[in-house]
Amino acid sequence: MSEPSTVTGTVGALTGGGPAPTGYRPGRTLPLRVELARQFRRRRTQVTFGLVVVLPIILWVAFSLAASSPPGSATSLVDLAKGSGGNFAVFALFASASFLLVVVVALFFGDTVASEASWSSLRYLLAAPIPRPRLLRQKAIVAAFLAVAAILLLPLVSLLVGSLAYGTGDLVSVTGESLGFWTGAGRVLLGALYIAVNLSWVAALAVLLSVSTDAPLGAVGGAVMASIVSQILDQITALEGLRDYLPTHYGTAWFNLLAGQIDWGDITRGVFGSLTWALVLGAAAVWRFERKDITS
């Protein structure tokens, strides 16, 4: 006898009216563990984490094949990176922060809703019924976990590879300041966390694009393109103070963490600016998804 009411409730949830299924609890739909396991099984997740793990090894091989700078020449970033495991991790983070990690964040967040729409499974998820705000929230939480894990995994693997290859000496910054290995490792990981927060605006923009299109690559590419454009505009000195409002302006502020005495000014401004952009774009994503007609 419960089958007709369940069907009626499901159809009602899909069309926006009618009773919900018997025993239906919105707070128990789409558990995080289910969505996380589902995302871990996806090939794109496995390839992304595999690339993050392999990248430090590729850099080490490249350094091994590259010729050393001639005596008396200025110290290059590569020579500095080969000084210790900490320096190697800093180089890996610096080389990947402006593009690779942007792609990683955009990939996990831009794929949230658009992929379900492209598979024609979004309407069935909402017919479960899963409330739209909960669906978006659960997917965003899982995407955030995966993105932060990937960002932190890069310096962790880099520290391991760099330490095995170049030892656990002091981390030496470009200004000549030195930090002990464990202190330097902690600062590098803190820098990775700053990058994760700084890229929160990319995450929010990717979600906004994801709920606005049925093409996952369009959402991912749009967020990456916006980051590239912002970085280009940040190089135009004629914009003067307007550059401070660009979301990428304080993208390299994490370098301040490598100093003996940390200057928190740009770091604080970078965190505040990124979170402000993320809040605005995230609110726009929720608004758009609540009013979108689901046809796929």
Q: What is the pLDDT of residues 235-271, one digit of tens each?
A: 999 998 899 999 999 999 999 999 888 999 999 999 9
CA distance 216 to 109: 10
Residue 106 lies in a domain: yes
Q: What is the pLDDT of residue 260?
A: 86
Residue 206 lies in a domain: yes
pTM: 0.88
Range of the domain at 167: 2-12+29-65+74-291
What's the structural domain count of the chain?
Answer: 1
- 3 state DSSP class of 172: strand
Residue 127 lies in a domain: yes
Q: What is the pLDDT of residue 76?
A: 62
Residue 24 lies in a domain: no
Question: Could you tell me the CA-to-CA distances from 24 to 5, 15, 45, 68, 121 in Å, in that order?
Answer: 11, 17, 31, 66, 20
Residue 22 lies in a domain: no
Residue 17 lies in a domain: no
Residue 186 has pLDDT above 90, yes or no: yes
Alpha helix ranges (H) inside the chain:
2-15, 32-40, 43-65, 77-81, 85-97, 100-110, 114-118, 122-126, 132-166, 181-198, 200-210, 216-234, 265-291
Per-residue pLDDT reduced to its tens digit, 60-109: 999 888 766 565 545 567 778 888 999 999 999 999 999 999 999 999 99
Residue 23 lies in a domain: no
Residue 41 has pLDDT above 70, yes or no: yes
Query: pLDDT band at residue 277, thresholds of 50, 70 and 90?
Result: very high
Residue 21 lies in a domain: no
What contacts 67, CB < 8 A, 6 or more positions away?
A: none
Per-residue pLDDT reduced to its tens digit, 153-172: 999 999 999 999 999 999 98
CA distance 267 to 255: 9
Residue 278 has pLDDT above 90, yes or no: yes
